[in-house]
Amino acid sequence: MKSAPFRYTKPDSIEEVVSLLRDHGGDAMILAGGQSLMPMLSMRLAQPKILIDINRIDDLKGVHPADDEIRIGAGTRYVELGNSKTIRDTLPLIAEALPHVAHAAIRNRGTIGGSIALADPAAELPACAVALGARFVLVSHAGIRIVEAGAFYQGLYQTARREDELLTEIRMPVPEDGYASAFFELSRRQGDFALAGIACFGRRVDLRFSDLRLVFFGTDDRPVVAENAARAACETPFAEETLDRVRHALEEDLEPMDSLHGDRTFKLHLAKAVTARALGALAERVGL
């Protein structure tokens, strides 16, 4: 199929983009990497009246350490994140997740901001952002608004971003000493959409996990913070019995969606499997 007709523009600055969004609102769409948007246009699942290409704007690119956080431009491509020593050394959860994002050709073009803003429930980086306690910077004609990652995702492809706002930056806190992370996902083939995945972040206190965050993707309609499962994992010293309690608690945290790839029961089974593997890896990394 071919896309519906639209006007194309390629502004040079964030200010120009914000002005266009103010004038066109819901009739405008942002083109960054285009790895999801272009197929949507071709299938007419998206029919904007104006397409705003932000690839020329250098202020939206790069990985920048700043005090106690890492600021990542929304237009930064996956391949740049993967090549960044700052990301590898400071945010190992992101580094571990990146090889699971689609295929190399897509990572060469796709951007972190595109993934964050699209809110595909099977995407890896939104879940990682929630697990790490990231904040998203949104800019409009009214000014700057900062939204916590955990509050940003509101449903299937639904976010807190307003029609006149541009996502410009992702701010990731630098983990404190003693914290570690683990990532795991299951898909039919390497590079396929995740059927179930988990991003873990936490530390140890004595022989237990502490401050543990378990964020699931690919199961529900958005990244899900499994609070009951995390609480169960922290109650006692880590052992096989701990995993049994965590698996049981997940039934309260997750509401998996039926899909062509499996029903709710199957998705929940996969979620329990990735949890056991990821918590085992995290336990080793924090010395449990």
Other Cβ atoms closer than 10 A to 188: 10
Report how far residue 217's alpha carbon sits from residue 231's, in angstroms, rounded to the nearest whole number.
Answer: 19
- Report the pLDDT value the prediction gives residue 203, as an integer from 0 to 100: 97
pLDDT grade for 13, boundaries at 50, 70 and 90: very high
Q: Which amino acid is at 111?
A: T
pTM: predicted TM-score of the whole model, two decimal places: 0.95
- Per the DSSP assignment, residues forming a β-bridge with 170 are 72, 136
Phi, psi of 235 (to 5 degrees): -70, -35
Query: Could you give the maximum distance between any two Cα atoms of the chain, in Å?
Result: 62
| Structural domains of the chain, with CATH | 7-53 (3.30.43.10), 58-173 (3.30.465.10), 180-286 (3.30.390.50)
- Report the pLDDT value the prediction gives residue 25, as an integer from 0 to 100: 85
Between strands 69-73 and 180-186, the pairing is unpaired
- Using the predicted structure, report yes or no on whether residue 181 has a pLDDT greater than 90: yes
Q: Give me 280's structure tokens.
A: 């085992």
Averaged pLDDT for residues 22-50:
93
Asked if 102 and 110 count as a contact pair (C-beta separation under 8 A), the reply is: yes
Q: Give me 161's structure tokens.
A: 């971003």
